[in-house]
């Protein structure tokens, strides 16, 4: 009876994973936080256009991961002011890849369909390389992402060089952008110069990610 119950639970978990945008992970512990200087864990997840995207496909490139929730006031601060879009364009024009990740579960704040995600990108004049639909939250948990926004910068050697808050202003007020120290911009500049960023980790701030379960 116990073995049968275990099998049922395992099958149910597999069904959830398949239904959650067919995410496949290559990591021993999906709850483990990634460490700066360590190899960023690989993933495979469907984007807003229905295409499967992997970290492997961007080998040799700097990659920025941005966790987002369009209804979060902290996210709105950066997008309404054009701050996030400007940073996206700076990054991609410099050869980096920008992946916006949505880990909100179906029925929870911030969850969107692929079409809605594309509409948001257009209406906000955003410029990510791709928007990843992490409905099951597997990728978010793999990276221990906690807030929106929560930012990660991965170097061309696939080592994690920065993680945490986008800047040093834990506020949802647009006025806080004035004079803010943008850690992601600093990390990208450092990577281009072949050196480690002065700040490799900063406290993430914003809304909690609306994970499933």
Task: Quick: pLDDT tens for 66-90.
Answer: 999 999 999 999 999 999 999 999 9
Task: Quick: pLDDT tens for 21-67.
Answer: 333 333 333 344 789 999 999 999 999 999 999 999 999 999 999 99
Q: What CATH number is given to the structural domain containing 166?
A: 3.40.30.10
Residue with tokens 């990740």: 101
Domain ranges, residue 135: 2-208
Residue 19 lies in a domain: yes
pLDDT at 213: 84
Q: Would strands 97-102 and 63-67 be described as parallel, antiparallel, or unpaired?
A: parallel
Residue 213 lies in a domain: no
User: CA distances (Å), 73 to each of 79, 92, 207, in order?
Assistant: 10, 25, 8
User: CA distances (Å), 57 to each of 45, 106, 152, in order?
Assistant: 12, 27, 17
E strand intervals along the chain:
24-26, 42-46, 52-54, 63-67, 97-102, 130-133, 147-148, 150-154, 160-164, 201-202, 207-208
Task: Quick: pLDDT tens for 117-172.
Answer: 999 999 999 999 999 999 999 999 999 999 999 999 999 999 999 999 999 999 99
Query: If we measure between CA atoms, which residue out of 50, 65, 178, 60 comes closest to residue 115?
Result: 50
Residue 43 lies in a domain: yes
Query: pTM of the full predicted structure?
Result: 0.85
What total number of domains does the chain contain?
A: 1
């Amino acid at each position: 009876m116990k073995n049968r119950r275990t099998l049922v639970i395992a099958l149910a978990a597999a069904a959830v994973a398949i239904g959650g945008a067919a995410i496949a992970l290559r990591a021993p512990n999906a709850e483990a936080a990634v460490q700066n200087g360590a190899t960023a864990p690989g993933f495979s997840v469907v984007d807003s256009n229905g295409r499967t995207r992997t970290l492997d496909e961007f080998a040799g490139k700097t990659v920025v991961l941005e966790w987002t929730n369009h209804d979060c006031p902290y996210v709105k601060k950066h997008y309404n002011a054009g701050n996030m879009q400007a940073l996206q364009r700076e990054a991609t024009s410099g050869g980096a890849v920008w992946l916006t990740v949505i880990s909100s579960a179906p029925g929870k704040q911030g969850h969107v369909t692929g079409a809605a995600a594309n509409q948001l990108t257009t209406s906000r004049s955003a410029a990510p390389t791709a928007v990843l639909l992490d409905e099951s939250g597997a990728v978010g948990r793999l990276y221990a992402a906690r807030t929106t926004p929560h930012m990660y910068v991965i170097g061309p050697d696939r080592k994690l060089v920065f993680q945490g808050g986008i800047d040093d202003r834990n506020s949802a007020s647009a006025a806080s952008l004035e004079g803010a120290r943008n850690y992601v911009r600093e990390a990208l500049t450092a990577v281009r110069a072949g050196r480690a960023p002065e700040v490799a980790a900063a406290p993430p701030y914003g809304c909690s990610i609306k994970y499933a379960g």
